[in-house]
Amino acid sequence: MVITRPGGSEVLELQERPVPIPEGEQVLIRVHYSGINRPDIFQRKGHYPAPAGVVPDIPGLEVSGVVVACGAQVTQWKPGQRVCALLAGGGYAEYALAHQGHCLPLEPINKLRVGSGGCSDESGAALPETLFTVWHNVFQSGTLRPGHKLLVHGGSGGIGTTTIQLARLFGIRVYTTAGSDERCRLCEELGAEECVNYRTRDFAEEWSGLSVDMVLDIIGGDYFEKNLSLLTPGGRLVQINCTGGRKVELDLLRLMQNRHQITGSTLRSRDNLVKEEIRNSILQRVWPLVATGQLNPVIDRILPFEAAPEAHHLLESGQVFGKLLLKWDRED
């Protein structure tokens, strides 16, 4: 599924391409499902180009499927193993390349010390992009402890639904925002203590007496000041997107007085070793929760691969709870 030019969802087009050949530490995955994420939309619009060395016009940051070939330096996987993987691009395709250190097992593999359970292809395709992002930015930092309070914006999306569940499992209290009363109800069913409908209420006013230890924000813009107003002294604002605007004003004196920390990151262009270290931490701390069914990705719906334009339209409409997947309907 190729981005033919920057633009709306109609610029996505099916094309035939040669099957990629894995080199070095790459594995070739026969894709069963591809995850849909907002960065794919930004790339389609021309705002988020693929890093150097990655196929530039095929979006897709996560897949699940079967390893069918390995580069000469691959030591962690063999053909025939079921995996899911974080990609820097190229995931909307029947075959995709992934670095061996960015793959996670969908069935028990003793040497990786995974729990006794496995993971379905559907769930696998909905996990890598969100898990790598959330685990690295929220939990791997080590600043949150049981009983701490976390505000995550966009609780009904892939990032939000994953964060709510992980926080609950690690004893962290979660507050969130979503775009409808129904989505707020679903977020609270997942484990959020309270969810504010941002279309009808101002979250900063609703929680004016609340102090949180961390805010995970995807909005930016006028949320910036509101987020800081809710942070406890020494609290941390983690910025992972800026859909509401990327330029803000900051009172440095207030920042110093409250000892606030402001961090931001994007994962796509990070070094392979950094992402492999995140993968290893996920394998140790999070993957057993997936293997035993305690952590389950929320999947709104699965569409056939031809419906990628529809999937993008749905995600942009704000009518999705959890993740959207594309299914590449092939039999092994």
5-15 pLDDT, tens digit per residue, is 999 999 999 99
Asked if pLDDT for residue 265 goes beyond 60, the answer is yes
Structural contact between residues 237 and 243, judged by C-beta atoms closer than 8 angstroms: no
b or e along 192-203 (b: 16 or more beta carbons within 10 Å of the residue's beta carbon)?
A: bebbbbbeeeeb
Query: With left for phi above 0 and alpha for psi between -120 and 50, is residue 257 left, alpha or beta?
Result: alpha
> What's the confidence (pLDDT) of residue 173?
97
Residue predicted with more confidence, 108 or 312: 312
The residues near 311 (Cβ < 8 Å, ≥ 6 apart) are: 36, 303, 324, 326
Other beta carbons less than 10 A from residue 145's beta carbon:
10
Question: What does the alpha-carbon distance between residue 104 and residue 258 come to, in Å, rounded to a whole number?
Answer: 40
What superfamily in CATH does domain 134-264 come from?
A: NAD(P)-binding Rossmann-like Domain (3.40.50.720)
pLDDT above 60 for 186: yes
Q: What's 305's DSSP letter?
A: G
pLDDT tens string 218-259: 999 999 999 999 999 999 999 998 888 999 999 999 999 999
The pLDDT of residue 320:
93
pLDDT band with cut points at 50, 70 and 90 for residue 73:
very high
Q: What are phi and psi of 138, to 5 degrees?
A: -105, -45
Does residue 114 surpass a pLDDT of 50? no
Report which of 245, 249, 299, 12 is spatially closest to residue 130, judged by C-alpha positions: 299
Between 55-64, 135-144, 150-159, 291-300, the lowest mean confidence (pLDDT) is in 135-144
Domain boundaries, the chain: 2-127+268-327, 134-264
CA dihedral 303, 320, 99, 101 (to 10 degrees): -130
The pLDDT of residue 108 is 62
Residue range 302-321, pLDDT digits in tens:
999 999 999 999 999 988 99
**Residue 257: strand, helix, or coil:** helix
In eight-state DSSP terms, residue 180 is S
Domain 2-127+268-327 adopts which CATH fold? Quinone Oxidoreductase; Chain A, domain 1 (3.90.180)
Mean pLDDT of 59-88: 97
* The predicted structure's pLDDT at residue 162: 96
Q: Encoding tokens for residue 332?
A: 């092994």
Give the pLDDT score at 280. 97
Tokens matching residue 271: 């070094």
d(C-alpha 193, C-alpha 188), whole Å: 6
